[in-house]
Structure 1
Amino acid sequence: MDDLLADFLTETNEGLVALDAALVKLERCPDDRPTLSEIFRLVHTIKGTCGFLGLSRLEHVAHAAENVLGKYRDGSLVVTGDGITLVLSSLDRIKMIVSGIERTGSETAGDDQPLIAALDAASEGRSPPPAASAPEVSLAVEVAPEPAEIAAPILRAETPPLAEPESSSGTSLAPQTIRVTVDVLEDLMTLVSELVLTRNQLMQLVRASGDNAFAVPLQRLSHITTDLQEGVMKTRMQPIGNAWAKLPRLVRDLSLELGKKIELDMRGAETELDRQVLELIKDPLTHMVRNSGDHGLETPAQRRAAGKPDAGRIILNAYHEGGHIIIEVGDDGRGLPVERIRQKVLANGLATEAELAGMAEHEIQRFIFRAGFSTAAAVTAVSGRGVGMDVVKTNIEKIGGTIELRSREGRGTTFIIKIPLTLAIVSALVVAAGGERFAIPQIGVLELVRVGGGGGAAVERVNDTPVLRLRERLLPLVSLATLLRLDAVPEGNGDAAFVIVTQVGPHVFGIIVDRVFDTEEIVVKPVAPILRHVTMFSGNTILGDGSVIMILDPNGIARATGVGADDLGEDQAAAAIANARSNARTAMLLFRAGDATPKAVPLGLVARLEDIAAEQIEMSAGHPVVQYRGKLMPLIPIGGHWMPPEPGARQSVLVFNERDRALGLMVDEILDVVEERLTIESQQDQPGFLGSAVIAGKVTEVLDCAYWLHQAGEDWFGPEARQQASARVLIVEDSAFFRNLVVPTLSSVGYEVTAVDDAMAALRLREAGHSFDIIISDIEMPGMDGFAFAAAVREGGPWRDLPLIALSGRAGAADVARGREAGFTDYVGKFDRGAVLRSLADCLAHVGA
């Protein structure tokens, strides 16, 4: 019997044991929704897996039982004793079939049609056919023995078969195993860890006392303890490829069933992790691969129409990163349909129209993790029943992991799973707050930031909420000492502290601590019953010095405080934006090119700085280019005629990119990066420059990026135009690239510019009483798009009569007509910089007239 089938039989028997008890419990408590959901999930898993193994008889019986349970779960049918008896009969039949598979390696023949007919009738609310009213097992010899009590998950060690679990027809094909629960191995690991701690304490005592009598036996004990620890770890560590073993067959069968061409690319199969973790991620990975094939990938005809190869790709990638495992499950398919998810959310009552309008695109996409949520148009044997991604998320979070997603419509979806390497020993950061030490798992730590003390960043307050300005975002903060009601030094005394930046789901926030000590490998012990109601702790551990400390749970801290980087209230956000507007400083990159006059460009526009060897620069159609990230990137010289550098020399390059476009500006020398308010004090007609400004105490020429990007020959921007103006302009644009490009451009010609990254932030400014003379808004934005934003502005309020300019990458006749219907005064192409300036001047002149 192959390993794939053996694993299926083991998992199915475990599920059947759980189903018997759960169905009896459901019969006693028909309104027990959690139990009903668990029963449905178990039957769904059995049915789905056997379908991919070609066990058609088993699949048909399980599918019929699942239909009945699905009606119970949806509330279409009332749970009755007769119905439970019928489902139990189907489980008996499944046990009988499984028993036959264990003996022979394949399904035995049998007539299940009367039972299936009875189940179908029950699912449709009809009385079962007379012949099927009391389903019976036709062959006594096929009745499955009750599976032995199994503690899940388990490890198996192969042993020779016993001559007497054998059948009369010959040697049984069922695997002969010794079952050892993972709990036993966990206990062994804990004991070994305790032994290591005791060994360390004894050796420290011997070194301190200078007594050499115990030195030799202690050294021997140390070696034995180390070998024992490594041996126990080896029993638990297995390559992740073991969890992927059944996926190629699954994808093959899925490809045939769906009529799609699917290629499975598995990378990092040799990456090792704890066997317990391995067992717990098998089902999530199976669900995700099936979803990628069914929901994600298009048919060959659809892929050809989209300009893609006929065969879709599902990519599995695993690698170690900082004491944990990263697993990526991705596809190059259609991506998550945001609009369809939005409609499904509204239909299911999971959020209101107003709440969805305030959500970013990735937040809407995360609704796929809700229980019972599915975007499938119809229920099939593969999907559509609302079972899958909620189970994935729940199972991953149970082992202290996280799951994130990246998706673009038409491009594909990638799920990123971060899980601990082992559940027995984890890497943790030891910190102190209020005089007490705590451990926080490193899997949840993004970075450490020093605050206060003169040299560190400053903690600010927005409506009494502490925040940290970190790389153009406001990070909500939580004081650990305050949260745990420990004695803490009052804030504002100038003493240095540290902020642990952590992430829970899509939300990022900071935890303020007094000190950071070091990272340690810790043994996780469960929280004592008296402290289990304190959700901020996930366990406790014993350090090498014998002290006991609590392990912090970032998820619990987030729930206890309700913080998140996207959770600032409307008043807080408006105040933060207003504060940023009044103190706006731009990070500028200073460089020299052509002559001695310093030149500058907003740092936010520069994707990266490169130092390219002369040998890498080639010529194409008379222009310098370089092979850059799989493509040819044009190089544009600043400062007149360009001569190729001497062999061995290097060329400094400023790289600009947006999506799949890239351009390199060749400069002579990078000088510095400074933050100053950008004020263009004098204009000039020199092509390629907006004008001059005093930066870092010197007259500096400010680069006109639009000009240089246009020199690349691509349609980045349209023709040049300059207009003088003095008006308050609000820009609503989700792309940081275009915000960084447009703001300096408009500021240079006299406009007072405020920029926000979405429509909801703009509307919060309106509610906070901010006034402007004109608004420029992008159309394609996450959450509320430009059309909905225009309609909201025109509904009423102080901005109702302001000129509205639509900024979009699409400016066809139909687009313009829709924009004007939504309430826009003018509609211009995003890449036509001159048209934007002309439209501003025309709209403002019309208002003045």
Structure 2
Amino acid sequence: MDDLLADFLTETNEGLGALDVALLKLEKAPDDRPTLSEIFRSVHTIKGTCGFLGLSRLEKVAHAAENVLGRYRDGSLRVTPEGITLILSAIDALKVIVAALEATGSEPPGQDGALIAQLDAAWRGEPIGGAVPAAAPAAAPAEPEPFIDPFEVAVVPEAPAAEAPVPEPAPPPPAAAPAEPAVAAAPAGGGGPVAQTQTIRVSVDVLEDLMTLVSELVLTRNQLLQLVRARSDAGLTVPLQRLSHITSELQEGVMKTRMQPIGNAWQKLPRIVRDLANELNKKIELVMKGAETELDRQVLELIKDPLTHMVRNSGDHGLETPEQRRAAGKPELGRITLNAYHEGGHIIIEIGDDGRGLSVEKIKAKVLGQGLTTEAELAGMSEREVQHFIFRAGFSTAAAVTSVSGRGVGMDVVKTNVEKIGGTIELRSVEGKGTTFFIKIPLTLAIVSALIVEAGGERFAIPQIGVVELVRAGGGGSTIERIDQTPVMRLRDRLLPLVSLSRLLRLDEVPAPGEEDGGFVVVTQVGPNVFGIIVDKVFDTEEIVVKPVAPILRHVSMFSGNTILGDGSVIMILDPNGIARATGVGADGPAEDAARDSGFAGSRSTERTALLLFRAGDDTPKAVPLGLVSRLEDLPADSIEVSGGQPLVQYRGKLMPLVPMSGHWMPPAPGTRQAVLVFSDEQRAMGLMVDSILDVVEEQLAIEGAQDRPGFLGNAVICGKVTDVMDCAWWLRQAGDDWFKPTSTATSPGKRVLLVEDSAFFRHLLVPGLTAAGYEVTAVDTGAQALRLREQGAMFDVIVSDIEMPDLDGFGLARAVREGGLWQELPMIAMSSHAEPGHGQRCRNAGFTTDVGKSDREALLSALRDSLSIPAGF
């Protein structure tokens, strides 16, 4: 296959994939002229290139489709759903021919006369009727992989020249046209013209080779660091630090070449959902959020199939028919929601539907029928534990297996595939309301940060993303106890089950008396389960290169790979998921059990809060909620620049403002480093310059003292010392960004506030401030979780809710509250980052008492004071 044909196949595959998305967008907005123009140009380009290469069959189908699109474009023919279906069938036929061309190097034999006849009839304005001839399966056609899987490096685009109108040719025979750099259709939800982007195509093999070389460079860097530590050679320290810095930057740069938007894995889903809705006679809306969230290409490839399977499950057995939804009091249009976002070095993917949910009673009956457990054991299980039976192999509650899917069928395969890449999968389901799956996966599989430990004289690596905390056993630390010969540890009112790594791997089957009184416990979490791994020593964290497990060891589920340390030693990488499966351990705290069984995981202000302690300006320790800090950085002095008196740093491809806590700032001396707390939310970031990081602790946050110090909420006793508690809103405003708006403080001691906010960032921001003002705060992250609290009889004095939330937004929550029930008369305050005309009236129409700008703490406190003074029955 020559290079010209290979380039054609690559571009055509990309163009055909983009056409699916663009045509579905056009179906929803038939008057979207920019999208229609881009579709026409893409098909025109494919047709012209076919003529140049002598691909007559492809050219005829593309030409017939182009004729219809031409009439759509000039307005002489109206865009209809039937017309879009016909064009999609032509695209499917093109895909089949291209796939065969890629496999054999020549066009396959075949007849497209029936399809071309229908396209010609549509071009003449005749009604479109009957089944559309299909050259590929009607539902979810399989797209061929491109000949070269490219990474595209974006170059600043030039404004596209206006395209001259293409004369409308008669149907067949097709006329050849010159080839046109094909343009991808506008992303769904747009509406403006789409700029063309010039790209450079790089073979994936080249990128993989680069990644391998960088991996070897990281190993060499680690070896040099190990040698310098052993010899204490001051002459090598500075150049080695520079080498380490360059290596880290190179590693990050190459990793970026492997990062792709998760939207690439979602590209086929709108078409799949549309065809599924037509096949099942259902009305389905697919909502996709966070499509721009990036992750490693290798991970992306591995999750494509599980995502497709789960979306088809939701459409087939999750969502009801329009008649069933009307009978249940739901809108006929069912919704499937996809959401992706970064959280703590992971990607969280949510796949949810507002359908019938999982029937716990059906699952119980199926479990007993298959003999998976006894009736007595089943009676002692929580609802969440019962629902998790759907992940068992071959388990399904569907009455019959359909041609599309069966909820439960294949979920064991989905779970296995997710766990293969170090991920976990959880679910929340309420019968009659819907089901949401939560997939948590690592950003990358190539180079990860790991904790190096020792057990039984052997060293091992534990991926840092799975480590919750380290606890010293004995010697003044927590004590290891035994319950029925099983080691456990009491950790902050939780009984934590433990696993001895040396015993598990049979490295030391007969420990010396009192051995477990020393050492360390690595607290790790697998899904909702938390347990500890007993190790003898803890060394340090290292960036390690992940190598696959040798075939001879693949049956040992406790290992996920191996790596080479700086001293040349080969060690195994432990898999917490495999350890949990092999030992059957896992613990949930009592509060967490109750929360999960009721379907929510709120955070109460009376519970312990994870806090980051640091020093800045004076000797008094300072504290900030750990969940609010996205990263801790130790920046070289020479990386800090000044513009207009404002210190800045080039951080992850953008300029990040730095704010000194000491009140005055002098540039650090050359060769020194600056500790920085990084706060970020979506596209914004701010660095707070501090003197030193002290510790991470978990304490009950009881804020007292004066609140008139700018930048501080007050004081709290933390670890036995008086500590200043930061007012994060004040410091973020100092960065000059639009995080907050300037705004009377009022306290209302003992009043109970329900905070509904899907952003963890803003929950961490608001809960301490409201607590400091004297409120008792319960925070949940969705409207559905809030309504579950109402069903359980929880009572509050006021509800504060965000507007923009997944699944059930703030308007929907307000309407549900006002429909009746325990909270019908409660005052409700809306928070929103948008203030377009009519927004306040829309909030009041939905049932809110008032609305405030999001994160405007002082305005919120004022609104709380005013709302709580309003008598019931407002």
TM-score range (shorter-chain normalised) is 0.3 to 0.5
TM-score, scaled relative to structure 2: 0.47
